[in-house]
Amino acid sequence: MRLGLTDAYRQAIAATRELVIFDAVEADPSKETLLAAADAGRAAEVASVVGFGGGSPMDVAKLASYLLGSGDDLDSIWGVGVATGKRLPLVLVPTTAGTGSEATPISVITCQGGVKLAVNSPPLIADWAVLDATLTLGLPRSVTAATGIDAIVHAVEAYTSARLKNPLSDALAREALRLLSTNLLTAIEQPANAEARSAMLLGAHLAGLAFSNAPVAGVHALAYPLGGLHHLPHGLTNALMLRHVLQHNLEAAREHYADLAEIIDPDCSRQGSQARAALLIERLDRLAQESGLALRLRDHGIAFDEAPQLAKEAMKQTRLLVNNPCEISEADAQRLYEAAW
Ligand SMILES: [Fe+2]
């Protein structure tokens, strides 16, 4: 709002209908914020909802439009496929290239004790997604980096998803990874580069479509406790765990990682799958390093001896862990947090 990003959109809407603004969505939106948004909509008797911003405002808009349209009680719809009611008409306008929330049926809400709960159900898929790259021009370096890495993780985890991977999600994930990996550093170094920004926004959207079909897994499962307990940006927490979880998955996901390596480095196609899979991890790690993010847990105020607690929290992300190419036990998770420290 302060940056004026919403001005043209507000004018366009206000020309034909009355507009009510709810602009109190924090990062990692809480249940209270969501219910306040729904209350504001109910009080104004709104007929439709526009979600505008990064993943947090879009997630709130999705679920608020559902609560308003269906009349369902929030605590009765957590989980996969539980929400089956009808929401209000919904438009989503992303202002970062990362979350892909404008493409997905998922809203993640932070509940009591920092636990993240999700509603994942088809009614949450928006009627329209507006990909307007001008909204992402000038986005700060750290935000571009963290959100871009998040989108890359969506593509990689969709491509290796243990349960619902399919030819469509594969095609979406591959094209997303191509767009994102070739444009991330340009978007970071040239914040006003419209071509790179467009490619990132489209890449993030395609990655969102990919993981709507073949859901994300271990990197996200281990990232969530870092966000919940330390309020770090979602994309950053994924970047912190990326290399370590991919390394853990290396044997189980070897052929898939080898496929993806060829997208990032076509020259590696003559190498064996083991070498290509290792190359993918190395290239993604290098991309994360070059994006300028500090990639150790210790850089972000996390203590080494928090690893057991983080591992315990990660085990609660069963909806994500089941999609990982191999098991991540609590002991594995602790070891991975310690490696990331
Ligand atoms: Fe994500």
pLDDT of residue 114: 77
Tell how far the Cα of 100 is from the centroid of ligand 1, in angstroms. Answer: 8
232 in Cβ contact with 114 (< 8 Å): no
236 alpha carbon – ligand 1 mean position (Å): 10
With beta carbons less than 8 A apart as the criterion, state whether 260 and 278 touch: no
Q: Decide if 124 contacts 106 (C-beta within 8 A).
A: yes
Q: What is the mean pLDDT of residues 206-229?
A: 95
Ligand 1 centroid to residue 15 C-alpha, Å: 35
Each residue's pLDDT tens digit, 249-293: 999 999 999 999 999 999 999 999 999 999 999 999 999 999 999
Q: Determine the distance separating the centroid of ligand 1 and the alpha carbon of 234, expressed in angstroms.
A: 7
- Measured in angstroms, how far is the CA atom of residue 19 from the centroid of ligand 1? 30
Short-list 240, 198, 204, 171, CA closest to 101 = 204
150 CA distance to ligand 1 middle (Å): 5
Bridge partners of 91, per DSSP, are 50, 128
pLDDT at 226: 94
pLDDT(145) > 80: yes
Placement of tokens 């439709």 in the chain: 48
Kindly tell me the sign of the dihedral angle through the C-alpha atoms of 98, 100, 101, 105: negative
Cα of 183 to ligand 1 centre, how many Å? 18
Measured in Å, residue 157 CA sits from the centre of ligand 1 at: 10
Confidence of residue 55 (pLDDT cuts 50, 70, 90): very high
Q: What global pTM score does this model have?
A: 0.94
pLDDT score of 141 more than 80 = yes
Nearest residue to 153 via CA among 56, 61, 79, 260? 260
